[in-house]
Amino acid sequence: MRRLWWVVAFVVAVLSTLTVVTAATVRATVLSPAFHESVLDEQDAYDRLYNEVLVDPDAAPVARELLAGLAVPEAQITSNIKLVLPPDTVRALTREQIRAVVGYLNGDRDALDLSVDVRPVLNNLNDLAHTYFGDLVAGLQDRSEPDFDRFTADLSAALRDVSEGRAPAGLPSLPLTPEQVEQATDAVLRVLPAGQRAALRPEIETALADGDVATVLAAVAPAAVSDRTRDAARQLQAVMDGGTWDLTDTLAASGNDLAALHRLRPYTAVGVGLVELLAAVLLVASLVALWFLGSTRPDRRLTRLGRPLVVGGVLVAVAALVVRGVTGGRVVDPPAAWPASLARLVDDVQHGAFAHITRTALLAALVPVVAGALLLGAGHYLRVRRPGSLPARRIVGFGAGAAAVAVAGMVVVPLVAGPAAPRVCQGQGSAALCDRPYDEVAYLTSHNAMSTTVDRFIGPLQDPGITAQLDDGVRALQIDTYRWERPDEITARLADSDFTSAQREFIADAVNRFNPPRDGLWLCHSVCRAGAIALVPTLREIGDWMRAHPTEVVTLIIQDAISGQDTEQAFAEAGLTDLIHTPDPDPAKPWPTLGEMTDSGRRLVVFAEQADGPADWYRNFYRYGMETPFAFRSPDAMTCAPHRGGDDHRLFLLNHFITIDGGSRLDAGTVNARRFLLDRAHRCERERGRPVTFVAVDYTTIGDAQGAVAALNAER
């Protein structure tokens, strides 16, 4: 009978060891949201989504179906995909699905509801329409027409083309009488909703009187395109149940009904932690029983404790390897209809997850094997020890301690060995950047970030608004602060601006026709009459974005035409003082790492081009940084010569844009190309002896400046 109880205790100890290790492994991996997030980052899933899946020709039919009816061609969707579907949005949506699945498996949710809120994506479609429109206007060429009737007809045709997402073949040009201006204005306004016509009439009349048809389109087409885009977005919302996409039904329709998760849930929902605890209690009880059953010799008691631990650990290791071999590291078989790039990504993620689970199980299994081996070794030592060696009481105490450590280790080791939630700095899974000092990281920088097509600036240098720029990977914003100029200040201000002569004439003529002066602080590009957005609300918008993205460090470089006191008050009114980092008073001192800045919460760095205080966080950029020249008229003219800030500072601003009476959208396609930008950055780093910090470009959505900046950081 005693022998039977010994066998029962031995079997219970083996099975308990197996259960504890398995439950701990499952809890630390399959039932941990951090595990799934880590696997996705390890496989570069988010980068591959943009660089491989969304540009895969096999994925085009899906894009066409979802985006049918938008006033934006498919090529523009592809080239500006990060504007429509920002990486941070994808990461947030993915985490929601991970939490839904893990909650279902843990029993926290009664049903597996995989639904995606696509409203953030739909809201970005309006910005994309403006981005596309900016490209259209930039490529238009003037041509003369002989009579007013032909002018009006061609103008109407151009408006129809733009509002339907097509580039006009050209623009009509003809001096108009005041009566003809009124007639042409009426024709132009007919393409707009009635409620928007009165506000735009003064601007259109002024532009037509000057023969400036491009400005007419710049004023009218965004509204027309946006209206069509909103209609298409509403259609998508109707299809997707008011902005929600039910992935559960979609997966079921594709043959992946998630049956494996449903079969697994009865075993996980009862509480893996509870099973683990009960198994640990049974393991301790069975080890105690083995201690007292059979011979009372210390060496045999230790041996009885060691054997089931070794056997249980070996069984776990064998089971883990068998499961990995049988499944082939796959749970879901991608349907044949999926694009090959998506199928590869899903397979790689599955194999990565299985590799982590197997590794965690093997490490956890090693704990009872090592502890059991130590117990067996201690028992053997007691049998063969010589007189005068360690007393048996100490060895028995050691054995009991080893058994206790084994039980605790089987619970703790999987939690330590399993991948933790990735620590991300500067978006898109850049965990390595967290340990990099602020001044050794490259940041995509938006030159004149406030001057956008979306906000209807004349001669815009960016297309999307500031929040969309941040969503799209911009991490430094060059902005200009102003008070609204008086009419008598316009001439002098225009003379120093980089507007074309036609734009200067248009702005001067428009001073008393529309856009009257306004009080307060503004973000303008040279002249507030050419476009302005309020400073404090924009700062508040930046703060809202940063609080929604707690791992991001953002820099503002302000061309300041207002006082330091006014700037300090504006930041206080916007509620940003708790986010602002204060640089060391000594510009030569090392900067903190990005991780240290995010941990402190002080991760908004603010520089001025002119001021230096009075706030201790508001420092003059050229005390801390240096730059290249910025008045380049062609890509070939770009140099790395020292400009403001000298040649010996830690921060390095690379001015990388072309200015020919304003920004050059066409040249942006050349200088923002990944290879061109990288070649210049490398050349300037060699010549100046410092890594490039801020890569300032016009039209951040053109070319691949973001890819070049990512490559610079990867090289370092």
Rounded to 10 degrees, the C-alpha dihedral 57/63/68/74 comes to -50
Determine the pLDDT at residue 527.
79
Question: Which parts of 339-421 fold into alpha helices (H)?
Answer: 340-384, 392-417
Question: Is the alpha carbon torsion for 701, 703, 705, 706 positive or negative?
Answer: positive
Q: How far apart are CA 55 and CA 46, in angstroms?
A: 13
pLDDT at 208 over 50: yes
List, in sequence order, every residue forming a beta bridge with 481; answer none if it has no partner: 523, 560
Overall average pLDDT of the 565-577 stretch:
96
User: Would you place residue 146 in the very low, low, confident or very high pLDDT band (cuts 50, 70, 90)?
Assistant: very low
Which are the contacts of 655, defined by CB distance < 8 A and separation ≥ 6?
A: 447, 627, 628, 629, 630, 632, 643, 696
Burial 255-268 (b: 16+ CB within 10 A, else e): ebebeeeeebbeeb
User: Would you place residue 647 in the very low, low, confident or very high pLDDT band (cuts 50, 70, 90)?
Assistant: confident
- Highest mean pLDDT pick, 154-168, 191-205, 311-325, 614-628: 614-628
Determine the pLDDT at residue 194.
77
SS3 call for 196 = helix
Extract the runs of DSSP E, i.e. beta strands, from 167-318.
171-173, 244-246
Which residue's entry shows tokens 């940084």?
625
Which are the contacts of 4, defined by CB distance < 8 A and separation ≥ 6?
A: none
Q: Residues of the chain with pLDDT > 70: what percent?
A: 68
- Highest mean pLDDT pick, 165-174, 420-429, 525-534: 525-534
Read off φ and ψ for residue 703, nearest 5 degrees.
80, -155
Is residue 616 within 8 A of residue 657, CB to CB? The reply is no
Closest listed residue to residue 555, CA positions, set 475, 621, 616, 619: 475
SS3 call for 1 = coil
Which tops the pLDDT comparison, 397 or 327?
327
Angle between helices 340-384 and 33-42 (to 10 degrees): 120
User: Would you place residue 583 in the very low, low, confident or very high pLDDT band (cuts 50, 70, 90)?
Assistant: very high
Which residue's entry shows tokens 């950029």?
621
Is residue 171 within 8 A of residue 158, CB to CB? The reply is yes
Give the pLDDT confidence of 392-430 residue by residue, as tens digits. 555 555 555 655 665 565 656 566 555 655 667 776 546
Q: How far apart are CA 110 and CA 526, in angstroms?
A: 59
- Highest mean pLDDT pick, 20-24, 155-159, 169-173, 314-318: 314-318
Q: What is the mean pLDDT of the chain?
A: 77
pLDDT at 70 over 60: no
- Highest mean pLDDT pick, 26-30, 33-37, 314-318, 532-536: 532-536
Of 134-148, 234-248, 300-314, 576-590, the poorest mean pLDDT is in 134-148
What would the two tokens of residue 610 be? 């002119």
What would the two tokens of residue 4 be? 């039977």
Which tops the pLDDT comparison, 636 or 502?
636
Determine the pLDDT at residue 222.
58
Determine the pLDDT at residue 624.
97
pLDDT at 493 over 70: no
Determine the pLDDT at residue 576.
96
Overall average pLDDT of the 604-611 stretch:
97
Is residue 464 within 8 A of residue 83, CB to CB? The reply is yes
User: Would you place residue 448 in the very low, low, confident or very high pLDDT band (cuts 50, 70, 90)?
Assistant: very high
First to last CA, the chain: 70
Closest listed residue to residue 157, CA positions, set 144, 143, 167: 167
Closest listed residue to residue 444, CA positions, set 535, 544, 555, 539: 555
Which are the contacts of 527, defined by CB distance < 8 A and separation ≥ 6?
A: 485, 490, 493, 494, 497, 499, 507
Closest listed residue to residue 41, CA positions, set 343, 356, 267, 472: 356
Q: How far apart are CA 712 and CA 690, in angstroms?
A: 13
Determine the pLDDT at residue 141.
30
Closest listed residue to residue 213, CA positions, set 200, 201, 204: 204
Which are the contacts of 306, defined by CB distance < 8 A and separation ≥ 6?
A: 371, 372, 373, 374, 375, 376, 378, 379
pLDDT at 370 over 60: yes
pLDDT at 659 over 90: no
Of 102-111, 458-467, 585-594, 697-706, the poorest mean pLDDT is in 102-111
Q: Residues of the chain with pLDDT > 90: what percent?
A: 26
Give the pLDDT confidence of 89-110 residue by residue, as tens digits. 777 778 888 888 888 887 777 7
Q: How far apart are CA 708 and CA 82, in angstroms?
A: 15
Determine the pLDDT at residue 236.
45
397 alpha-carbon distance from chain centroid:
54
Is residue 362 within 8 A of residue 318, CB to CB? The reply is no
Q: How far apart are CA 605 and CA 619, in angstroms?
A: 9
Which are the contacts of 387, defined by CB distance < 8 A and separation ≥ 6?
A: none
Residues in the chain: 716
Determine the pLDDT at residue 142.
36
Q: Is the pTM of this model over 0.75?
A: no
Which residue's entry shows tokens 């066998």?
7
Q: What secondary structure, in 3-state letters, does 418-464 show?
A: CCCCCCCCCCCCCHHHHHCEHHHCCEEEECCCCCECCCCCCCCCECC
Which tops the pLDDT comparison, 608 or 297?
608
Determine the pLDDT at residue 336.
78
Give the pLDDT confidence of 234-244 residue by residue, as tens digits. 544 444 445 56
Which residue's entry shows tokens 């089971």?
319
Within 10 angstroms of residue 4's Cβ, the number of other Cβ atoms is 9
pLDDT at 544 over 60: yes
Q: How far apart are CA 683 and CA 703, in angstroms?
A: 20
Alpha-carbon separation of residue 647 from 443, 625, 688 (angstroms): 20, 9, 7
User: Would you place residue 136 in the very low, low, confident or very high pLDDT band (cuts 50, 70, 90)?
Assistant: very low
User: Would you place residue 215 in the very low, low, confident or very high pLDDT band (cuts 50, 70, 90)?
Assistant: low
Determine the pLDDT at residue 244.
63
Of 45-54, 234-243, 306-315, the poorest mean pLDDT is in 234-243
Determine the pLDDT at residue 591.
97
Determine the pLDDT at residue 438.
96
- Give me the amino acid identity at 114: L
Alpha-carbon separation of residue 85 from 81, 315, 428, 663, 684 (angstroms): 6, 47, 13, 26, 33
Q: How far apart are CA 54 and CA 58, in angstroms?
A: 9
- Give me the amino acid identity at 434: C
Rounded to 10 degrees, the C-alpha dihedral 94/100/102/107 comes to 180
Domains and CATH numbers, the chain: 2-118+246-417 (no CATH), 127-239 (no CATH), 431-715 (3.20.20.190)
Overall average pLDDT of the 24-53 stretch:
82
pLDDT at 690 over 90: yes
Is residue 627 within 8 A of residue 653, CB to CB? The reply is yes
pLDDT at 62 over 50: yes
Closest listed residue to residue 106, CA positions, set 232, 308, 244, 273: 273
Rounded to 10 degrees, the C-alpha dihedral 659/663/665/669 comes to 40
What would the two tokens of residue 122 be? 């739909």
Determine the pLDDT at residue 76.
52
Q: How far apart are CA 279 and CA 276, in angstroms?
A: 5
